[in-house]
Amino acid sequence: MRVALLANLKKNAPIIPGMSPDMWDDLDSEKTLDAIMAAIAARGHDVFFLEGNLTLYDRLRETKPDICFNICEGHFGDSRESHVPAILEMMRIPYTGSRVLTLALTLDKPMTKRVLAYHGLPTPPFQTFERTNEPLDPDIRFPVFLKPSREGTGMGVSAESVAHDEAQMRRQLRRLFDRYDQPVLVERFIEGREVTVGMVGNLTSPVAWRLPENEDAPRISRGLHFFPPLEVDMSQYPPEEMGIYTSKIKVDLAEDFHYLCPAPLSPEMVEELNWLTAATFRVTGCLDVARVDFRLDKHDNDKPYILEINPLPGLNPGYSDLCIEAQAGGWSYEELVNRILDEAIERQGLA
């Protein structure tokens, strides 16, 4: 097949006067793109790269790919990850991964949490702020964790994200509003282990059609393949990071990543995390691949809380969580990339 890899390269990103220095931290490197293209080419496909910017529409018309391998994070706007898929749908070109609505939803952490809460899935209690002086919801208990609503890759996440009282919270709100022009998510701070679960596949109906309504109902997630969970080994990082998976760890120290994979968890806990991953995948409407980030509350028997779902998980072969997890599960990078592609091919009847 003719496969176009659609991505936003960090080095091609627009330069905007006064932009925050971490503005493009979630965009991709040439190394990642080369690795994905090599993996796809190894299966005999004809693969080429197109930058997901304003030139894309014309380039797609010229090159006419059979399918696009989409990892575009987008550049602008509060639904930026959904822009390229929207163009592809208008042009009726098939692509890998989640679609427009899901990518817009999951980029917005509070919106995603509303959906999770509606379905009774465990996510930390929260409040969003649009102004520094908004009244605090009486249900909110300190300490709290503050982060921008629509960023990723640890952007806006540092040791200062934890606030132990209202004064600290208001100070951090001010900092985040100054830096990121968007609402701030304030959540209960979950102290405990940091675990992430990656998966590929698609739920097969009818078993996955509904979430079980009670605890005894079978927790079926047919069609999904879960990789071993990865735990970030916080003990290996400077104490200033305060046990948080900060922007510094994700970006500056990315090449020197300390993790445990498979994470040392009981089989029952792995089963529970896989189930929660499947349920989050299901209720947010993800396709083909995703990674769900959790914290295990050490003050409540390691109860897992869902922080977010990433429908476009990083694919850097050297250090991205999903790639490490796949490897721990006995999959090569080539197998991982092509499974995502094959899921999309099969789902859309292109084989």
Ligand X SMILES: Nc1ncnc2c1ncn2[C@@H]1O[C@H](COP(=O)(O)OP(=O)(O)O)[C@@H](O)[C@H]1O
Binding site for ligand X (CB under 6 A): 124, 145, 147, 152-155, 157, 187-190, 194, 244-245, 293, 295, 307-308
Cβ 37 to Mg ion shortest distance, Å: 26
Give the three-class secondary structure for 217. Answer: coil
Cβ 308 to Mg ion shortest distance, Å: 5
Task: Pick between residue 160 and residue 334 the one whose CB is nearest to ligand X.
Answer: 160
Distance, CA of 247 to CA of 132 (rounded, Å): 23
Task: Pick between residue 7 and residue 195 the one whose CB is nearest to Mg ion.
Answer: 195
Task: Pick between residue 83 and residue 250 the one whose CB is nearest to ligand X.
Answer: 250
Give the three-class secondary structure for 83. Answer: helix
Cβ 43 to Mg ion shortest distance, Å: 30
Task: Pick between residue 189 and residue 226 the one whose CB is nearest to ligand X.
Answer: 189
H helices within the chain, ranges in order? 30-41, 56-63, 83-91, 100-107, 109-118, 166-179, 247, 267-284, 321-328, 333-347
Pick one of ligand X, Mg ion, none as the site partner of residue 295 (Cβ within 5 to 8 A by kind).
ligand X
Cβ 207 to ligand X shortest distance, Å: 29
C-alpha distances (whole Å) from 63 to each of 50, 207, 321 are 10, 40, 32
Q: Is the separation of the CB atoms in 282 and 307 below 8 Å? A: no
The residue number with the shortest CB distance to ligand X is: 245
Task: Pick between residue 25 and residue 343 the one whose CB is nearest to ligand X.
Answer: 25
Pick one of ligand X, Mg ion, none as the site partner of residue 190 (Cβ within 5 to 8 A by kind).
ligand X
Cβ 146 to ligand X shortest distance, Å: 9
Cβ 32 to Mg ion shortest distance, Å: 18
Q: Which residues contact 239 (CB under 8 A, 6 or more apart)?
A: none
Pick one of Mg ion, ligand X, none as the site partner of residue 157 (Cβ within 5 to 8 A by kind).
ligand X
Task: Pick between residue 231 and residue 293 the one whose CB is nearest to Mg ion.
Answer: 293
Bridge-based pairing state of the strands 67-70 and 2-7: parallel
Cβ 180 to ligand X shortest distance, Å: 12
Pick one of ligand X, Mg ion, none as the site partner of residue 281 (Cβ within 5 to 8 A by kind).
none
Binding site for Mg ion (CB under 5 A): 293
Bridge-based pairing state of the strands 67-70 and 162-163: unpaired
Pick one of ligand X, Mg ion, none as the site partner of residue 108 (Cβ within 5 to 8 A by kind).
none
Bridge-based pairing state of the strands 224-226 and 230-232: unpaired
Give per-residue burial for 130-160: e unless 16+ CB within 10 Å, then b: eebeeeeeeeeeeebbbbbbbbbbbbbbbeb
Q: Is the separation of the CB atoms in 338 and 40 below 8 Å? A: yes
The residue number with the shortest CB distance to Mg ion is: 293
Question: What does the block give as tokens for 215?
Answer: 């605890």
Cβ 30 to ligand X shortest distance, Å: 23
Q: Which of 141, 69, 24, 8 has its CA nearest to residue 338? A: 69
Distance, CA of 53 to CA of 80 (rounded, Å): 11
Q: Is the separation of the CB atoms in 37 and 5 below 8 Å? A: yes
Pick one of ligand X, Mg ion, none as the site partner of residue 286 (Cβ within 5 to 8 A by kind).
none
Pick one of Mg ion, ligand X, none as the site partner of residue 187 (Cβ within 5 to 8 A by kind).
ligand X
Task: Pick between residue 293 and residue 297 the one whose CB is nearest to Mg ion.
Answer: 293
